[in-house]
Structure 1
Amino acid sequence: MNLDATNEVVANNMFNDVPAGRYVLVDLAVTYGGADEGTPWVDLSPTFVGTDARQYDASSCGASLDNGAMKVPTLEKGGQATYQVCMDVPVGAIEGGKIFVQKSFSMNSKARVYWAVK
Structure 2
Amino acid sequence: MKLNATEEVVSNNMFNDPPEGRYVLVDLAVTYAGADEGTPWIDLSPTFVGTDARQYDASSCGASLNNGAMHVPTLEKGGQASYQVCMDVLVGAIEGGL
The interval holding the TM-score normalised by the smaller chain is over 0.9
* Distance in 2, Cα, partners of 1:29 & 1:43: 14
State the structure with bigger RCO (CA 8 A, min sep 6), 1 or 2.
2
Question: C-alpha displacement at 1:75, in angstroms?
Answer: 0.2
Matching residue of 1:59: 59
Question: C-alpha displacement at 1:23, in angstroms?
Answer: 0.0
The answer to whether the aligner puts 1:74 opposite 2:77 as a matched pair is: no
Matching residue of 2:44: 44
Describe how 1:16-31 pairs up with structure 2 within 5 A. Answer: 16-31=16-31
RMSD of aligned residue pairs (Cα, Å): 0.3
TM-score, normalised with respect to structure 2: 0.99
Structure 2's unaligned 5+ residue stretches are none
Identity within the alignment, %: 87
TM-score, normalised with respect to structure 1: 0.82
Q: How many residues align?
A: 98
* Deviant stretches of 4+, over 4 Å: none
More strand by share: 1
Describe how 1:98-117 pairs up with structure 2 within 5 A. Answer: 98=98
